[in-house]
Amino acid sequence: MYKKIYDTLIFKYPVLFLIIASLFVGYLSYNAKNMQIDASAETLLLEDDEDLKFFRESFKKYQNSNFLVVTFSPNKALLEKETLEKIKNISNDFLKVENIAKVDSILTVPLLQSPIRPISDLVAGVDSLSSKEFDKDLVKNEFLNSPLYKNALVSSDFKTTAIILHLKDDEKYFKFIEKRERLLEKQKTQALSKEEIEELEKNNLEFKEYREVSRENESKNIENIRNVIKNYEGDAKIFLGGVNMIANDAIHFVKNDLIVYGFSLIFIFIFVLYYIFKSFRWVFIVLFICFISILSTAGILGIFNWEVTVISSNFVALQLIITMSVVVHLVERYKELYFKYKKASQYKLTINTVLSKLIPSFFAIITTVVGFSSLVLSNIEPVINLGLMMSVGILISLVLSFIYFPIFLLLIGKKEEIEKKDKLISFIPKLPNIVLNHGGKIIILAILTTIFSVIGSSKIFVENSFINYFKSNTEIYKGMKVIDENLGGTTPLDIIIKFKDNKSEEKSNTNTKSNFDEFEDEFALKNDDKQYWFSQDKMELITKIHDYLDNIPEIGNVQSLATLLKIGKTLNNNQDLDGITLALIYTQLPEEYKKLILSPYVNLEANEARINIRIIDSNDNLRRNELIRKINNDLEKIITNKETTYRLTNLMILYNNMLQSLFDSQIATAGASLIVLAIMFLILFRNIKMVIIALITNLIPISLVFGIMGWLEIPLDIMTITIAAIALGIAVDDTIHFMHRFDFEFKQSHGSYSISINKALNTVGHPMYHTTIIIVIGFSILMLSNLVPTIYFGLLTAVVMISVLIANLLLLPRLLIIFKPFKKEKNI
């Protein structure tokens, strides 16, 4: 049937089908310009996550603003007049950057203990270094010892300070989010009207367009900030850091890698392909089909608005590997037939090449598609998109390979092939002897590999350290490292404490009013609600939780109402502040300072308190999920009042939720993939023993990858966690090609296992080995990237390719001999 299709269509009208195929590819390639890369924080969040909804609500409630941190380590002392002038000048230059709303530094923050003054003076007015002269010894002592500033605004050695760049609120961005959330929330309970569906689609489209403009503006602003920093680098060591920097620099490194390593990869592939095939004709055909396949897939992404995220950014590499495998198998089969039947016409060589490889290639691709399609079972949109991208992409690769390859051969015509001994594959003829005579050693090696993999896999952990995404010589790494080690940590975590409404608590505090002077009494009568809110029970609980968090090694800076209470105690003759005094501060403190030391940590209207924590991202012992679990367990013991509730929120929780969900979905989809693969193998070979052999052959290389990750302490994160799908896709391809050829040779040899294995190894062994060499050499250049996940991807891909090759060339044929799945001649 397949021969008839080729004869009546492609082989009869090769030029026409070349034009049709090229128009199709051209249309898709044109739409590739619409493909979008989104490495923003939004792609790392679960849209259905209740924690995300809660975070957005608390973000508005506590008037948080996004900010960047500039670490400033001057050549001279921090409080020298020249240094303060430099900080003033650089701050003024930062304010000229469009997106910066406000700059805070040691010049602008309120000095509450230089010297220690009564609370009434504090309410009357607070000065800063920029507003009057201070005793520098007192100022230094306050910065180093005040719970508000130590290890947050200044380092413990007083050599580094933070300059906080508060970014302007993007109200338009949040309006898009709010409208989408409102419609999606309604969609969960009832069907949307036609107008509402159109409104949602319009909102999403406008949001994407606005987000692109916003991202470009943010990138320009960061570039402008860095330009300001360059002007002062002679006077200090200055680094830029902060959570907002991660997405910006990650996108920059990804784009840089695509340009630099993309071109390098092409030259490496040209060199290796030419070395293997000794002809630029084959180099062109292989690379051209790979190129148009990837370009066509990019066009599909542009048409359907599937965005490339951090998780799905490896789709180009994956499709390149699978496409190259298909085309190299076709080239090797053609060359095999050419040297076997030198007098055969180009038509016969081409049709036999295509037909002999169509079935194994089809099943290899379909099996891989099914494996990637299982990612759709995930509830994470970027993972779902990766599954869809890869499924569509490798189907396109299959179709284009089996259209363009025969057309090119027919149009080019039969050319003389150079038959030279390839030193790279000189060991392949020796493999049958190893398989047949050293089977015990192969099985022992497989068992030892399995043990090594199981033990290593038990050491693997799920973690997502943003600082470890970047090499230690990059600016963003240096900035985040300084912030982590000297200025209180990077990743934010909040604890929101919700108190009960207790009127009796209010009554219990009314008796204290007689203890205050007339001013305080008059104030109290007008501010009863505020006075009663700041009860002793609340203050003790907040302080207890604050102190508990402060003693956790993985936690850097902790800020809460307890911070003010500790400062207030020193200002109040070492006496704890009472409710009246706190209400006085809450009401009378100047707004600019209230926003710094009070408003971010209490919300009287919501009857809540907020504790803000920063996690030391570079701490080698940090295990985020374990830390979150520990904090939750301990807070349940600390908060004894059952009517007082709490909730953890902010980016630490949101990213951890995504990562844990990704890990859980990978386990579920991996199980589903193996079941589907078993069914596909059963359909292909109709033999349960062949299914078992194929699964064993595939599972050992995959487990080896995880074993190596465990032993080398490479964490499963948002990049490396998809390596199982990669390994499975590569392994299945080689397994099917080998088994299909073995089945063919088994029939030809009338049931001889030794002859069948010998011939299978000496035929399909060549393209399997060549594909591995091409990919391993090519992808080794990725290890020079500035993005650590890209380096891991290159390393793990090489490990996968090599382990899969060894498993399919040694273990697979040995298992065929042991299990003897065929008792007599069979046909597929």
pLDDT digits (tens, 9 = 90+) for 526-541: 445 566 788 888 999 9
First to last CA, the chain: 15
φ, ψ for residue 107, nearest 5 deg: -80, -30
Is the distance from CB of 293 to CB of 400 less than 8 angstroms? yes
Pairing between β-strand 67-74 and β-strand 608-615 as defined by DSSP bridges: unpaired
- Indicate the residue type of 693: I
- Give me the percent of the chain exceeding a pLDDT of 70: 91
Cα–Cα distance for residue pair 642/623, rounded to 1 Å: 29
Least confident of 100-114, 424-438, 632-646, 807-821: 424-438
Whole-angstrom Cα distance, residue 759 to residue 747?
12
Residue 309 to residue 312: CA distance in whole angstroms = 5
- Calculate mean pLDDT across residues 30-45: 74
Q: Which two tokens stand for residue 789?
A: 């996940």
Pure H helices in 512-647: 518-526, 528-533, 536-550, 561-571, 579-588, 591-597, 624-638
Determine phi and psi for 755, rounding to 5 degrees. Answer: -65, -40
Distant-in-sequence, close-in-space partners of 76: CB < 8 Å, separation ≥ 6:
82, 83
When comparing pLDDT for 115 and 511, which is higher? Answer: 115
Q: Which of 369, 317, 301 is nearest to 28 (CA)?
A: 301
Residue 823 has what DSSP assignment? S
Share of the chain above pLDDT 90, in %: 37
| β-strand partners of 716 | 462
| CATH class of residue range 1-34+279-416 | mainly alpha
Which tops the pLDDT comparison, 381 or 201?
201
The encoded tokens of residue 17 equal 């089908």
Closest CA relative to residue 394, chosen from 363, 419, 422:
363
Please provide the DSSP assignment of 554-591 as one string.
TEEEEESHHHHHHHHHHHTTT----HHHHHHHHHHS-H
Q: Which residues pair with 150 in a beta bridge?
A: 154
Please give the Cα distance from 599 to 610 (Å, whole number): 10
Tell me the pLDDT band of 388, cut-offs 50, 70 and 90: confident
| Among candidate residues 330, 248, 250, the one with its CA nearest the CA of residue 285 | 330
Question: In the CATH hierarchy, which fold is given to the domain comprising 429-458+657-827?
Answer: Multidrug efflux transporter AcrB transmembrane fold (1.20.1640)
Whole-number pLDDT of residue 47: 65
Given a contact cutoff of 8 angstroms between Cβ atoms, the answer to whether 685 and 816 are in contact is no
- Whole-model pTM: value is 0.80
CB atoms within 10 A of CB 426: 9
Q: Give residue 2's pLDDT band: very low, low, confident or very high (50, 70, 90).
A: confident
Contact call for residues 799 and 364 (beta carbons, < 8 A) = no
- Which H or E run includes 226? helix 194-230
| Mean pLDDT of all residues belonging to the chain | 85
Per DSSP, 97 falls in state S
What is the radius of gyration, based on Cα positions, of the chain? Answer: 33
Mean pLDDT of 90-105: 93
Kindly list the domain boundaries of the chain, sorted by start residue: 1-34+279-416, 45-246, 429-458+657-827, 476-502+519-649
For 537-577, the pLDDT digits (tens) are 899 999 999 999 999 999 999 999 999 888 888 888 888 88
- The pLDDT score that the predictor gives to residue 818 is 93
Decide if pLDDT at 509 tops 50.
no
DSSP calls for 399-453: HHHHHHHHHHHHHH---PPP----GGGTTGGGHHHHHHH-HHHHHHHHHHHHHHH
CA 552 – CA 521 distance, rounded (Å) = 41
Fold match, 1-34+279-416 / 429-458+657-827: yes
Coil, helix or strand at residue 341 = coil
Give the pLDDT confidence of 413-460 residue by residue, as tens digits. Answer: 998 887 766 666 678 888 999 999 999 999 999 999 999 999 998 988
- Quick one: pLDDT at residue 189? 80
Closest CA to 802 of 709, 695, 700: 700
Q: What is the pLDDT of residue 66?
A: 82
Q: Whose CA is closest to 65, among 475, 590, 612? A: 612
Cβ proximity of 337 and 277 under 8 Å: no
The pLDDT of 84-93, averaged and rounded, is 95
Q: How confident is the model at residue 826 (pLDDT cuts 50, 70, 90)?
A: very low
Higher-confidence residue of 336 and 723: namely 336
Q: Please identify which residue in the block is written with the tokens 């995959």.
A: 702
Total count of residues recorded for the chain: 828
Q: How many CA atoms lie within 13 A of 578 on its CB side?
A: 11
CB 568 within 8 A of CB 106: no
